[in-house]
Structure 1
């Protein structure tokens, strides 16, 4: 986990947590805990030009995307760099829900899974993190704010793809392996069908995080709307 910090701020973790940090498991079980973050995100978005009233669904989606990205980045970075995937119960993961991204995150690894191929990394990540941590959180956001499951599933893929891309950018020797891991995740398991490669090899999700609904926001680089604008094959 310490080694992953060289990849960038989103890959850094804290060894200890403060008493007021929130357990990751609570984000899936308690709407009040998650609302702490959505209220702060809404305030930031509403302060932007022309954005006094931000749709709750937009706030929930962007909050979800940011939190998932914060969780998965150090895990994937550590696996790419060290060849082992850190594993810990979600009850032991804590995050500070106040402030700007990347939020402080305490993620003490209690064990690790040795990784060989990109397919093995993808399978271990699905088993130890997507299933017990990310998917329950995603279902909770959908239940609390009635956000489309297609949007939230795309957020997860976007967060994973973004973390892998950042790792490959920070350490170019990791880029090929990071691409192979993403292809393995897109090929089978819970993320299958949520994204694809553009004609130029870059990643595009098959949904939108709703960021474009903010006045003057535009669209994200991996958005399906961007693929359509480019006229990519299968862009729809």
Structure 2
């Protein structure tokens, strides 16, 4: 992933902008980064909540030339205390992947927007686990809330219901694509 991050995912950003019919590469970058964040958070949050295992994403690869990701070797750790899990997940996903992604972008996108995308993606990962496994809803809520209080994710949104509904404090710019609309968690819904 290091070379993809250093290259700013330029191919994926351009392909995303084209797919959504916009010439604004920052919109393509935002949507691509949100998708990437979801692909990182979902399996990690799912594995830790359902199996008590944290997958090791340090050797993560991009599958071919699209957005899919793969782990060439399955490795990881048993989950420790809540504090240890939260710190490890934040370091692995945000510092290890999403911040390098942001640093490599060739187009200017506000860092708050990108952290907001990461916050939205982790909330959605927790919501998906809680929806599929209602007995894990309390654990999912605790994990998501702890992550939303860390580093760049802090202040980018909050859970608004026991079903892990989320409201952002930033916007992903999706409403700016042709036929786009405001997302369900968008900060602009009340404006």
Alignment counterpart, residue 96 of structure 1, candidates 37, 42, 63: 63
Secondary structure at 2:151 match in 1? coil
Secondary structure at 2:23 match in 1? coil
1:77 deviates by 0.9
The 2-side partners of 1:59 and 1:35 are apart by: 10
The structure, 1 or 2, with the larger RCO (C-alpha pairs under 8 Å, 6+ apart) is 2
Deviations 1:211-235 (A, max 9, x none): 0112331111111112x25xxxxxx
Whether 1:162 and 2:124 are equivalent positions in the alignment is: yes
TM-score, scaled to structure 1 = 0.72
Change (3 A) 1:66 1:205: same
The 1-side partners of 2:158 and 2:40 are apart by: 22
TM-score, scaled to structure 2 = 0.87
The 2-side partners of 1:97 and 1:151 are apart by: 27
Alignment counterpart, residue 186 of structure 2, candidates 223, 226, 231: 223
- Computed over aligned residues only, the root mean square deviation of the Cα atoms, in angstroms, reads 2.2
Computing the radius of gyration from Cα coordinates, the structure with the larger value is: 1
The 1-side partners of 2:107 and 2:91 are apart by: 26
Whether 1:133 and 2:108 are equivalent positions in the alignment is: no
The 1-side partners of 2:49 and 2:73 are apart by: 16
* Counterpart mapping for 1:99-178 below 5 A: 103-108=67-72, 111-141=75-105, 144-178=106-140
Secondary structure at 1:217 match in 2? coil
Deviations 1:168-193 (A, max 9, x none): 11222222211111111122333111
Change (3 A) 1:199 1:81: closer
Structure 1 equivalent of residue 3 of structure 2:
26
Gaps of at least 5 residues in structure 2 are: none
1:199 deviates by 7.0
Change (3 A) 1:168 1:65: same
1:44 deviates by 1.5
Structure 2 equivalent of residue 87 of structure 1:
56
